[in-house]
Amino acid sequence: MKPTFTGLMLVFFGFAVCAQNPHIQGLPGRPDPARYFQPQIGVPQINMPAPPSSFGMKPAWSPNPVVPNPTPESIMREQRAQQQAQARMYAGNSARNYDMPPCVPAQDIRPYYEAFTEIKAMLDGTQPKDLGRAVFLSENAYLKNLDYEAFNQGLENIVFSLLDQIKKEGNSIEDNTAKIMMLHRFFTDTMRIYNRQSGKYETHYPKHYDFEDPRGDVDITKQFVTKLIREESGQCHSMPFLFLILAQKMKVEAYLSTAPSHNYIRFRHQRKWYNLELTNGHLTSHSYVIGSGKVKVEAIQTRLFMDTITIEKSIAHALTDLASYYHEEFCYDAFYRDVVHIALDYEPMNASGLAALSNYYTAWFEHAKKVAGNPPYAYLDRFPQLREIFGACNALHHHLNEIGYQEMSDEEYEQWRQDVNRDWHRKTLKELKP
Amino acid sequence: MLNGKAPINFKKAVISVENAYYDGRLPVEMMEREIKRLAALALGYKQANAIAYEGRDRERFATYGSVFKVMSDTVKVVFAPGDTLNHLPFTYDFEDIAGRHDWSKMFVSKLLRTGTGNCHSLPYLYKMVVEELGENTHLALAPKHVYIKHRSDMLGMYNTELTSGTFPIDAWLMASGYIHLEAIQNGLYMEALSDKQSIALCLVDLAQGYEHKYGMDDVRFILLCVEAALAHYPNYPNALLLQSEALKAVLDQLAQQRQAAQTQAEKDSLQARHQKVLDHYTGLIKHIHTLGYRHMPEEMYLQWLASIKEQRKYQNPQLNTLKTY
């Protein structure tokens, strides 16, 4: 999740547009995603004349334009004439096309489009809801070289061995807590997994936290579940998702839960709720999550954070991930927006989905402003579409504020990382790995 | 005010509740004058000192900041060179914080008279002064505690703590350990209260004042207040607790009457009434527990209150760095 939210805040404050309509559904522009895969004649060209530099007026995007010092009358007359000429210049621009152009020709987005179609079918109910498949599809759309059979078989082998181990230790495989504890052991301890294809035992080491680029800012594959499986190191996105994928296969009742820039697991034992922090293998209290995650009360009340998201609903999160991988490879465009919209339809209180939509609106607004010829703020009313997009940005921002959304700032994240760094458990896990 | 028959006025409600406790002898005009004086001082401070805040709502934010400054820090008023008045802040009174021995410790009138108050009177006075200046602000509840919540364009909702003059993040409220996740999800604590809910708070204060003055011999008035408050603020924990205490008093009285009853018929009817009230009482206790309420000992409360000053991680970093010129 790119931290451009702060950028959005800095850009939009000081504007005098009323923020209305907090519901996402009312916002503009929701065409049918199926049209993406129509053959395109070509990307529409937008030929924009740049405003002549001799006007001397910089496009200032602020409701309080700079008032010039009192000048002699002749200069004022000249400025008035310039303003009138500029008004005439911007007069014809409202009829332009403000939609975001596609990043690349439609053929190039085929892997994403196919992944999107299949994941959407899972959410619609026309395909079985398989979190592992959804996660695989989103990651493979980016990597394009993964083998589903190998991926799935690897997971099945793990599940088989874990269930076997539960039986060996004298517990029932119907016991939810026993299965969760075994999954916990898989993440935090060395285990031997029987590979049914090769007939050999493999040693799986504890999954530790990858401190290098954990947010995936440089290399987004750091967030991938497939990377966690391959390298046995992950972060707060891949670890909970792998846990839930295995939990679904083992028929375990476990839930995804979120905090700012963070995911973890919640489960129930004897009617009490427990939080499992996979990045350090601890069971944590609610106060710990709130304190370390800086969660706001509004977010708890609206169930934006710290809720119990079922494995089936987590598939909507996989769809949000697909959008972010798409952006990582290409850019923001209408396909990205529609993927995010569908994800939010099924999971409206999805923090990363809302952030993704907000990032899109920022980019869309910047694009639309360029299309309109960067008119000064005073001329906003002449461009109804631009005004609509601007209103949508504000409404979304207001909505996010109301529901208690926030991101972990870079300083807070660094502080948290240092705290986890000092955690003695990390040393212990490293000592376990030969 | 709650039934819409009179305009909602928090200051009027608070003053009338305290006046009732003093049997109408509270110097109301003096209190009003004092509040106006504080408002004028805050307005003067706001006009003399710009605040480094760039949001659309900077006027409102500056009002909040100046009232906060007046209440929590010394304000210098310079009349002429060498002629300075230092307006001292209000401070926390650590004696009898729950008003167990002297209920008037909770009062805004006591705060204005002595300059010391507690987590009940300080936020009340803050709200009264801010509303005097024409802005809106919200009370919010925590176990044994009241604080202030504001909405800011740039920061979203943020908390103001008058007892220590800080801006704690929500995590601090929960760090006391007595606010469960369910309590928050059910809106029991930490919700920004509406005007009507604030008036409901005053109604329960009235009931508690009655209880301190006259005891629980006749709980009809207490139940009347509590039920009216709950009609507009169903999950108000103090109202529910007071209701349960009143019902317990009724149960004790019924049990005594049953003991003293002469005839079997009397005994039976009292027993039936006792059972009915007991069922109601048990249901209420269960409801309070399900909502997420947990009783907090006073020593823990004081320890928790001090922790905001001791632990920087609970302070809101965006507000702590806001400068005044």
> What number is the average pLDDT over the span A2-31?
37
Cα distance between residue A90 and residue A375, in whole Å: 7
Query: Token pair for residue A79?
Result: 């400025």
> CB–CB of B226/B201 below 8 Å?
no
Contact A301 B191 (CB under 8 A): yes
Cα–Cα distance for residue pair B56/A12, rounded to 1 Å: 10
Q: What is the pLDDT of residue A10?
A: 39
**Token representation of residue B175:** 């760090």
Nearest neighbour of A300 by CB, restricted to B177, B184, B313: B184
pLDDT digits (tens, 9 = 90+) for B53-112: 777 788 888 899 899 989 988 888 888 888 888 888 888 888 888 888 888 889 999 999
If phi over 0 gives left and psi between -120 and 50 gives alpha, with beta otherwise, what is residue A251? left
**Three-state DSSP state, A293:** helix
A126-135, A147-156, B75-84: the lowest-pLDDT one: B75-84
Q: With a cut of 50, say whether residue A34 has pLDDT above it.
A: no
Q: How far is B178 from chain A (nearest CA, A)?
A: 10
pLDDT higher than 60, residue B44:
yes
How many CA within 13 A on the CB side of residue A147? 5
pLDDT of residue A407 exceeding 50, the answer is: yes
Whether pLDDT at A65 is above 60: no
| Dihedral sign computed on CA atoms, order A137, A142, A145, A151 | negative
Q: Least CB-CB distance to B170: which of A273, A290, A401?
A: A290
Which of A246, A313, A236, A248 has its CA nearest to residue A275? A236
The string of pLDDT tens digits covering residues A347-406 is 888 999 999 999 999 888 888 888 888 888 887 777 888 888 888 888 888 888 888 888
- Which residues, at least 6 apart from B286, have a Cβ–Cβ distance to it below 8 Å? none
Nearest CA in chain A to B172: A291
**Is B208 in contact with B221 (CB distance < 8 Å)?**
no
- Residue B307: per-residue pLDDT: 78
Q: What is the ipTM of this complex?
A: 0.72
Q: Is some CB atom of chain B closer than 8 A to the CB atom of A418?
A: no
Q: What are phi and psi of A80, to 5 degrees?
A: -65, -40
Average pLDDT, integer, range B240-248: 92
Q: Looking at A75-89, A264-278, A370-384, which range is the least confident one?
A: A75-89
pLDDT of residue A258: 92
Res A81: pLDDT: 75
Chain A: give the shortest CA distance to residue B207, in Å.
29
Please name the residue of chain B whose CA is at the shortest distance from the CA of residue A286. Answer: B181
Alpha-carbon distance of A177 to A199, in angstroms, equals 29
Confidence of residue A19 (pLDDT cuts 50, 70, 90): very low
The rounded percent of chain B whose pLDDT value lies above 90 is 34
Determine the residue type at A183: L
Residue B94, CA distances (Å) to B70, B91, B118, B305 in order: 21, 9, 8, 11
| CB A245, CB A131: distance < 8 Å | yes
- Say how far apart CA A263 and CA A274 lie, in whole Å: 14
Q: Is the pLDDT of residue A205 over 70?
A: yes
Residue environment code for A373-412, b if the CB has 16+ CB neighbours within 10 A, otherwise e: bebbbebbebbebbeebbbbbbbbbbbbbebbbbbbbeeb
Least confident of A147-156, A283-292, A386-395, B206-215: A283-292
Closest to B174 (Cβ–Cβ): which among A14, A287, A406? A287
Q: A53 or A420, which is more confident?
A: A420
pLDDT tier at B46, thresholds 50, 70, 90: confident
Residues of A in contact with B153 (CB under 8 A): 13, 401
Q: Give the pLDDT of residue A31.
A: 38
Alpha-carbon torsion A225, A229, A227, A283, what sign?
positive
Q: How far apart are CA B219 and CA B207, in angstroms?
A: 9
Position A64 pLDDT exceeds 70: no
pLDDT for the residue numbered A156: 94
pLDDT, average across residues A172-194: 92
- Any B CB within 8 A of A10 CB: no
The residue of chain A nearest to residue B158, with distances taken between CA atoms, is A296
| Confidence band for A95, pLDDT divided at 50, 70 and 90 | low
pLDDT given for residue A244 in this prediction: 96
Q: Which amino acid is residue A70, in one-letter code? A: P
How far from A286 is each of A264, A283, A407, CA to CA, in Å? Answer: 12, 10, 18
Asked if A297 reaches chain B (Cβ–Cβ under 8 Å), the answer is yes
Nearest to B170 among A297, A401, A402 (CB): A297
CA closest to A291 among chain B residues: B171
Decide if A33 contacts A337 (C-beta within 8 A). no
Nearest Cα residue in chain A from B179: A287
Show residues of chain A in contact with B56, CB under 8 Å.
13-16
Nearest to A275 by CA among B189, B186, B181: B181
* pLDDT (tens digit per residue) in B166-222: 888 888 887 776 887 778 888 888 888 999 999 999 999 999 999 988 888 888 899
Domain boundaries, chain A: 101-402
Q: Which residue has the higher pLDDT, B210 or A8?
A: B210
**Cβ-Cβ contacts under 8 Å, A19 against chain B:** none
CATH 1.25.40 describes domain B196-293: yes
Which residue from A404, A388, A375, A408 is spatially nearest to A50, judged by alpha carbons? A375
State both tokens at B109: 């009138």
Q: Dump the DSSP string for B219-284.
A: -HHHHHHHHHHHHH-TT-HHHHHHHHHHHHHHHHHHHHHHHH--SHHHHHHHHHHHHHHHHHHHHH
Q: What is the pLDDT of residue A417?
A: 65
How far apart are alpha carbons B219 and B241 in whole angstroms?
A: 14
Q: Contact A230/A253 with Cβ under 8 angstroms?
A: no
3-state class (DSSP) for residue A209: strand
Across the interface, whether the CB atoms of B157 and A306 are under 8 A apart is answered: no
The answer to whether B154 contacts A306, with C-beta atoms less than 8 Å apart, is no
Q: How far is A13 from chain B (nearest CA, A)?
A: 6
Among B38-42, B175-179, B317-321, the range of highest mean pLDDT: B38-42
pLDDT of residue A6: 44
CA pair distance A10, B93, nearest whole angstrom:
42
Question: Are the Cβ atoms of B170 and A295 closer than 8 angstroms?
Answer: yes
Which of B156, B173, B191 is closest, CB to CB, to A401? B156
pLDDT for B297 beyond 80: yes
Residues 6+ apart with CB under 8 A from A53: none
pLDDT value at position A1? Answer: 45
The predicted model gives A41-59 an average pLDDT of 33
Q: Where are the domains of chain B?
A: 10-178+295-325, 196-293
The shortest C-alpha distance from B201 to chain A (Å) reads 21
Contacts with A404 from chain B: Cβ below 8 Å: 156-157
Shortest CB distance from A286 goes to which of B156, B181, B313?
Answer: B181
Asked whether the beta carbons of residue A290 and residue B153 sit closer than 8 angstroms, the reply is no
Alpha-carbon gap: A358 to the closest alpha carbon of chain B (Å): 16
Residues whose CB is less than 8 angstroms from the CB of residue A19 and which lie 6 or more positions away in sequence, other chains included: A391, A394, A395, A397, A398
The better pLDDT of the pair A67, B97 is held by B97
What was the pLDDT predicted at B4?
Answer: 78
Show the tokens assigned to B147. Answer: 């604080």
Specify the range with the lowest mean pLDDT, choosing from A32-36, A192-196, A269-273.
A32-36
Q: What is the mean pLDDT of chain B?
A: 86
Q: Which of A297, A301, A394, A397 to mutate to test the interface with B (most CBs of B within 10 A)?
A: A297
Binary contact (A303, B154; C-beta < 8 A): no
Instruction: Give CA separation, A412 vs A86, B4, B313, in Å.
Output: 46, 47, 10
**Chain B touched by A298 (CB under 8 Å):** yes
Residue A85 pLDDT level (bands cut at 50, 70, 90) = low
Helices (H), A13-147: 73-90, 110-124, 131-143
Q: What is the dihedral of CA A371, A377, A380, A382, to 10 degrees?
A: -80
Judge whether residue A8 has pLDDT over 60: no
Q: What number of C-beta contacts closer than 8 Å exist between A and B?
A: 60
**CB within 8 Å: B175 and A296:** no
Which chain B residue's Cα is nearest to A401?
B156
CA B151 to chain centre: 19
Q: What is the pLDDT of residue A27?
A: 39
Interface of chain B toward chain A, CB-CB under 8 angstroms: 54-56, 153-154, 156-157, 169-171, 173-175, 177, 180-181, 184-185, 187, 190-191, 313-314, 317
Residues in chain B: 325
Find the closest chain A residue to B190 by CA distance.
A297
CA B298 to chain centre: 17
Band of residue A87 on the pLDDT scale cut at 50, 70, 90: low
pLDDT of residue A309: 92
Residue B83: what are its φ and ψ, rounded to 5°?
-120, 85
